[in-house]
Amino acid sequence: MLSDPPDFFKYLDPAQTVRVLPRHPAGPGQADPEMIWPFPFDDGWHLHQGFEEMVFAINPCARLWTRFAPKSEERDQATWTIGMDRAPFGPRTWEITIDATTTAEIMRDVHAELLDLHLEVRHSDKDRLFEDTTAPHEVYTPLLTRG
């Protein structure tokens, strides 16, 4: 059973950067989006190649998207960005940016969880990708307590 988190977790600013260590539990892995994105591309998800080796994946309704953007020849300069829009290509509801030193296993798990939440909406009256009452410390605490 988890004990109560320290008070500073309750007051995290949404724009605050949180670092979880160790950074390389299994090494940074390959920056292969098709291995990291568990999306059903044969069921309406789209995979696009952008400029300068940027790669995008977009869900069928064009509201949930993710991209891998290599910034230079150095692997740790690349970023993964995940976002959700209320309307296709509309104003951003939320966005997450993660540097590419994050392990491939963690990135795959993040994308798998987002896919599960996205698919859950089809059979629910709640859209947890837009509105959720979970406090920030409830999300960060399991990550931090497991190292």
Residue-wise pLDDT for 8-41, tens only, equals 667 777 777 766 655 545 555 556 777 788 888 8
Of the candidates 122, 123, 141, 121, which has an alpha carbon nearest to the alpha carbon of residue 18?
A: 141
Asked whether the beta carbons of 121 and 42 are under 8 A apart, the reply is no
CB atoms within 10 A of CB 49: 9
DSSP state of 84: E
pTM for this entry: 0.64
Share of the chain above pLDDT 70, in %: 67
Task: Kindly provide the residue ranges of all beta strands, DSSP E only, lying in the chain, ordered along the sequence.
Answer: 46-49, 55-58, 64-69, 79-85, 92-99
